[in-house]
Structure 1
């Protein structure tokens, strides 16, 4: 379980993270709203042990050591941190991301084979600027699922790739509820869709998390209407 208790972090001119609290368990997806990209990236870095809060605690399974957070978590597609760079091919980005991950075999599988195994062979030769929103989400979610040691996945503003929540939220929900490796999944976003009825939190708020019965199917947690009504 990830527990965030009254976390705060200073910024250069204004608070980077205002007093924030929430919890999320393995098998759950929570959407956390932050107004600015700086806030969202700051919280994402703190949740994964890459930024030390000035006040409050962030703990995983009772341990508030940053090295535990870094070891048990992954930061996914964070702007200016580990997002796909402009003028980069998918095959090169995937190869770079896969090179950071441990593999059981001594020989790492080829990037081409990995893309085929994950149904992404159509992206192999594409440049960053050629990717559609759905293709971007497919790629980053597949790479996130490859993080075998990570029980916590933090997505920094996945909604920037898509016009509405339905493009990315179901994929993150499936990651959280994966039968072989369930995870706690956090999506830090600029806006929480009214179509989402699951766990939510907001940077700058410390209200207790709402109760959501464990194991609810996605169609009871997320009921998208139209793209216009469900803008991220």
Structure 2
């Protein structure tokens, strides 16, 4: 599965989303940069087939088919759209997702699923207090239980704080399982991920090499990181 957003824009004078181009596909994690409070959610909605752009083209496997996108791509933790209230317990969220997936959602089933996800200790926690990477892992794995879901669009994980390198590592783990992953995040997160990835590559090829200009944006140096600023 391959999703392409070609110069998509939304709103009067493109205020909600300026022309943005991005792509993500099965087996690959991609990052799209979007700043301001509204733009990440708008981009996430368009990339998952839940909103049509006012300009530009969106395709899935070369065709414009929003219905197929909605069935095959899950939108994860988008503010004002599918973000749970901060005081809802983790167990409550898991029970609801199990029900949506057509599975048993009783306390025993919830406990079993949390154990499988390595998150049993957070069962009684309010979701707003859960560590960022645990939160994203939980939402992503639960979404993948739904029938037909092959891709994820994760919106603004950086708004919860924490180290962006951690959730980016998880996004790449998902891609390694054949999932198509698009993460929408801000410039600071993109720069941090780019720097960490560059250092990792340099360490692999030459342990003595160092970044002579740590302030430079190395985003474009990463072949596995698709980036378009919105």
Q: Same fold by TM-score, threshold 0.5 exceeded?
A: yes
Q: Which residue of 1 aligns with 2:149?
A: 150
How many Å separate the matches in 2 of 1:138 and 1:74?
Answer: 13
Change (3 A) 1:80 1:172: same
User: Equivalences for 1:122-201 in 2 at 5 Å?
Assistant: 122-178=121-177, 182-191=178-187, 192-193=190-191, 194-195=194-195, 196=197, 197=222, 198-201=224-227
What is the number of equivalent residue pairs in this alignment? 197
TM-score (norm 1): 0.77
Relative to its length, the structure with more helix (as a share) is: 2
Q: Secondary structure at the match of 2:38?
A: helix
Change (3 A) 1:190 1:99: same
Change (3 A) 1:121 1:61: same
Kept in 2, the 8 Å contact 1:90–1:126? The answer is yes
Kept in 2, the 8 Å contact 1:123–1:135? The answer is no
- CA-to-partner distance for each residue in 1:142-187, whole Å, 9 max, x for gaps? 3244345212210001122233222211111111111xxx121000
Q: Which residue of 2 aligns with 1:119?
A: 118
Cα deviation, residue 82, structure 1: 1.4
Instruction: Flag structure 1 segments of 5+ consecutive residues without an equivalent.
Output: 205-232
Q: Secondary structure at the match of 2:173?
A: helix
How many Å separate the matches in 1 of 2:136 and 2:48?
Answer: 20
Moved over 3 A (4+): none
Q: Which residue of 1 aligns with 2:5?
A: 4
Q: Does the alignment pair 1:23 with 2:23? A: yes
Q: Which residue of 1 aligns with 2:97?
A: 97
Q: Does the alignment pair 1:54 with 2:50? A: no
Q: Secondary structure at the match of 1:200?
A: coil
Change (3 A) 1:80 1:25: same
User: Equivalences for 1:51-90 in 2 at 5 Å?
Assistant: 51-90=51-90
How many Å separate the matches in 2 of 1:132 and 1:21?
Answer: 31
Cα deviation, residue 63, structure 1: 2.1
Cα deviation, residue 102, structure 1: 4.4
How many Å separate the matches in 2 of 1:141 and 1:71?
Answer: 15
TM-score (norm 2): 0.77
Kept in 2, the 8 Å contact 1:40–1:156? The answer is yes
How many Å separate the matches in 1 of 2:134 and 2:67?
Answer: 33
